Amino acid sequence: MNFGYNYDYLIVGAGLFGAVCAYELQQKGFRCLVIEKRDHIGGNMYCEKINDINVHKYGAHIFHTNDEKVWKYVNRFVTFNNYRHSVIANYRDEIYNLPFNMNTFSKLWNVVTPEDARAIIASQKIHPVAKIRNLEEHALETVGTDIYEKLIKGYTMKQWGRPATDLPSSILKRIPLRFTFNNDYFGDIYQGIPIGGYNLLFEKLLSHVDLKLSTDFFKERADLTSRAKRIIYTGPIDAYYNYEFGQLDYRSLEFQHSILNCDNYQGISVVNYTDINVPYTRIIEHKHFEYSNVPSTVITHEFPRSYEKGSEPYYPINDENNNRLYKKYQEKSRDDKNVIFGGRLAEYKYYDMHQIIASALTKIKDEIDQIRQNDAQK
C-alpha cells in the first residue's frame, strides 16, 4: 500500500468516532488515511475471540438508543441480537437488582408495594442543611442510607479512587428509582449486541479506507500531518497540545481475563461488586452477551486504576478543576481550523456509543456543508 501521496483527511484513531467519519467521508469521495496506535481496529469496543466467545476486551459494551436514525444507521452494517442488559449487585454475597427497582426494594426491606418502598426511602433520606456539596450528600438526599451504604458508596469510591465526599454530585447525575418490577438496565427502545461481535461493524466502516495500525501519531506527527489537508483527531486533547496547560485527569482500568472450564459461571453478563473491600468493581461473563452455547466460559475482573501519562484513559473526571482546564484546551482548539476534534478523549466528555455516532454524523455533515459553501463562493 502506498502512503506517499496526499490525503484529504488524516483520521487519528480507529475507534467509533474515527471509523464513522472515515466511512462517511469515503462515501463522499474523499481520500482518508486512518491511523491507530493499537494493533487492532475498534477502539475500546474491540472483541477478541476466545474459545468461540466474543470477549469485550476493554469492558462491556451494550448498544442502546432511542435515536431511530442512529439505530437504522448501525443496522446497515451489522445485524443485532435481542440482548437486553440486566445487572445485579453483589454486596457481601447479598444479591440485588440494578437499577434500583421493586425487586431491589423487596430484597432490601421485604416490601411488596411501591407505596411501602417510597415510605422507607422517604424515612431514610438525609437532607443537607445547605446546598448539596458532594456525591454522598446527593445520594443520601435522594435514596437514603440503606441503598447508599450497600449499593452506591463502595462501588463509587472504588470506581473513582476517592471518598464520596470528595466527588462532585454530577458524577451520579440522577439516581433512577423504578417503582416497578423491571430489571432492564437501560430503558431505550433499541438495544442489542452485533451478532458476531463489534469487530464486524468496524470492518464494514473501514473496508475502503487506507489504514495503518500500530502507529503512534505523536512519534510520526510531522510526517503524518504532511500527508493530509485536514485532521480528524480522537485522542486526548491535552496530549495533542503537549500538555501546554497541564494534564487532564482520568480514571483508568485494568482487565484480567480468565478461561473457566464450566459452561456458566455467574448466570448473567455483569455482576457489580459494591463492597469497598472487594478490589474489583465487576465481573463480566461474555458468553451471555450473545448467548454462546459452548462448554467453557470467559470472565473478566475489572479493576479501576489511577491514570498516569502513558496508561489508557477511560473516564474523564469532570470536576470543576478539570473542566476549567479542558476549557483552555477547547479554546485553543478553535484556532486550529484544519483539525476536527471528536470523541470521548478529544472532547473530554463521557459518550455512549449512539451519542458518538450521532456526533460524528453531525460533524461530518457540517464539514461537507462548509466545503460546499466554500466551493460556491469561489
What's the half-sphere exposure (Cβ side, CA atoms, 13 Å) at 156?
Answer: 25
How deeply is 142 buried, as exposed, middle or buried, from its count of CB atoms within 10 A (0-12, 13-18, 19+)? buried
The residue to which cell 466502516 is assigned: 205
**In whole angstroms, what is the distance from residue 58 CA to residue 133 CA?**
33
How deeply is 258 buried, as exposed, middle or buried, from its count of CB atoms within 10 A (0-12, 13-18, 19+)? exposed
Residues annotated catalytic, as ranges: 174, 178, 251, 282, 302, 350, 352
* C-beta of residue 297 within 8 angstroms of C-beta of residue 261: no
Residue-wise burial string across 273-292, b where 16 or more C-beta atoms lie within 10 A, e elsewhere: bbbeebebbbbbbbbbbbeb
Q: What is the identity of the amino acid at 206?
A: L
**In whole angstroms, what is the distance from residue 251 CA to residue 233 CA?**
21
| Nearest Cα to Cα of residue 138 among 151, 148, 149 | 148
Q: What is the DSSP letter of 18?
A: H
* C-beta of residue 159 within 8 angstroms of C-beta of residue 251: yes
Cell of 290: 450473545
* C-beta of residue 287 within 8 angstroms of C-beta of residue 294: yes
